[in-house]
Structure 1
Amino acid sequence: MSSLTLAGLGQKVGHELGVSSWVTIDQARIDAFASCTGDRQWIHVDVERAKRESPFRAPIAHGYLTLAMVASLAMEIGVIPRDAAAGLNYGIDKVRFLAPVSAGARVRLRVSLAGIEPRDGGQMIMRTQNTLEVEGSEKPALIAETLALLIPAAGAHRQ
């Protein structure tokens, strides 16, 4: 469970909230993503062709697959305050895909709290800076500034 609270978020602005465990992005996950989205571009799903023709000499994960990993890894870190009934995706202000993630590579997420914006009814918008690191790479796979709408649980401290 998260150690964060809605009332205490203001003190965490500008600080790192945590780092996830390493997760392997294997070919099976890439293929499943391709199946779900219909994005079957050869650079992702044709292993032999990617080994021969790709500048990366291996299949790479879809950029949007790496972006989709942000939510689950952020939940693992515990970025939603414990007195919030829900934390809902509210948007992404900026995403940059900086390095490919080859099939079999491991990634982890590093999250910092960039800001909060109080809303009516004790709700707030939480802005986080998310960096998806690739093991053994100097460049992260992506950097994304995401927004979550935090809804307080019944009886939670109202600001």
Structure 2
Amino acid sequence: MSWNKPLPHPTEISAPYWAGLQAHEVRLQQCDQGHWLFFPRTHCPTCGSRQLAWRKVSGAGEVYTYTVARVPTLPEFTDEMPQLLAVVALDEGVHINTTLVGVAPEQIRVGLRVRPVFDDRPGSATLLRFTPQDSVHPGVIAADAAAQPQQSTAPAAPRQTLPQVDCKNLDAMRALVSDGYSDWSNEIAVTQELIDQFAQLSGDDYWIHTDPERARRESPFGTTIAHGALVQVLISRLQLPMEFEVTGYHNIVNYGSDRLRFPTPVPAGCRIHARYRIKAVEQVKSGTQMTMEINVHVVGQDRPSVINDLVMLYM
């Protein structure tokens, strides 16, 4: 599975720590005088001893301090907002910078007891996160679960019969117009592979979309981004939760868009979803014309990435 976010590069000194996480163990260094230390190093910062050994610990501790980041620390983390950044004080006394999972922002507090979560990333890296001691969050996040949204194992709900609205009943059609938006659609991942395929198909292979290394160095977004046209096309793969069914027509014609905007980028590897509202209904010579405003968002972002006022003609 693809993963678009930075991953650690173990050094000779830190390799035992990262190897421990891959084995789903928290391992810390301890000197011959009994002092625990973290981050990994060649000597004890308390007494200067170079007689260090790696030892397995429980990983239990408490939140020492935290912050809820509502602006991504890197563009690649756009789809994880808000980020729950914390410093955890392990029972051995060392402090570890981390992120919290399985907890709502308003439930976090200084002193909250936490336990480790081993987050296996695609490839060969495991990250250490923490969750409240009494949380039902699993202690291991599998690599395939880290790379894609969790899928529900519950049986599919029976299909509900939607209220039917005759397209020739103008008052009923106009009653669908609303300032409020629908629920969210399903989520899909916009991977670098998908972006590359679109670039090849469309001929738009500009480096800001297709060259991750150059984008990291030179792009104002810090990473490659999806083509706006690609994100718009992906609307057809998003299952909008329709709350009505239009009837009484012989044909539906996609009449185009009254407005199409790309307000914010979609970084490669992020997930998107969409919602809609009925913006306008009017009678025209050929039938009934409906304008549906569809907003596509990166998951976790308030500002949309695509705004499409889609015009449909019911004939």
Q: Which TM-score band (shorter chain)?
A: 0.7 to 0.9
The 1:16–1:139 alpha-carbon spacing in structure 2 relative to 1, beyond 3 Å, is closer
Relative contact order higher in (CA < 8 Å, ≥ 6 apart): 1
- Aligned-partner Cα distance in 1 for 2:235–2:250: 20
1:120 Cα offset (Å): 5.3
1:139 Cα offset (Å): 1.7
List aligned pairs for 1:46-125, cutoff 5 A: 46-73=211-238, 76-78=240-242, 81=245, 83=247, 84=249, 86-119=251-284, 123-125=287-289
- Aligned-partner Cα distance in 1 for 2:299–2:267: 11
1:5 Cα offset (Å): 3.1
- Match in the other structure for 2:173: 9
CA RMSD in angstroms comes to 2.5
Structure with bigger helix share is: 1
The 1:4–1:129 alpha-carbon spacing in structure 2 relative to 1, beyond 3 Å, is farther
The 1:37–1:59 alpha-carbon spacing in structure 2 relative to 1, beyond 3 Å, is same
- Match in the other structure for 1:30: 195
Q: Which has the larger radius of gyration?
A: 2
- Match in the other structure for 1:42: 207
- Residue pair 1:43, 1:50 contacting (<8 A) in 2 also: yes
Single out whichever of 99-108 and 80-89 deviates more from structure 2: 80-89
| Per-residue deviation, residues 98-125 of structure 1 (Å, max 9, x unmatched) | 110001111111100011123457x321
Aligned residues: 149
- Residue pair 1:23, 1:107 contacting (<8 A) in 2 also: yes
Question: What's the % identity of the aligned pairs?
Answer: 31
1:86 Cα offset (Å): 4.6
- Residue pair 1:3, 1:82 contacting (<8 A) in 2 also: no
TM-score for both structures, normalised by structure 1? 0.79
For structure 1, the 5+ residue unaligned runs are 152-159
- Aligned-partner Cα distance in 1 for 2:243–2:234: 14
- Aligned-partner Cα distance in 2 for 1:82–1:115: 15
1:70 Cα offset (Å): 2.8
TM-score for both structures, normalised by structure 2? 0.43
Q: Secondary structure at the match of 2:225?
A: coil
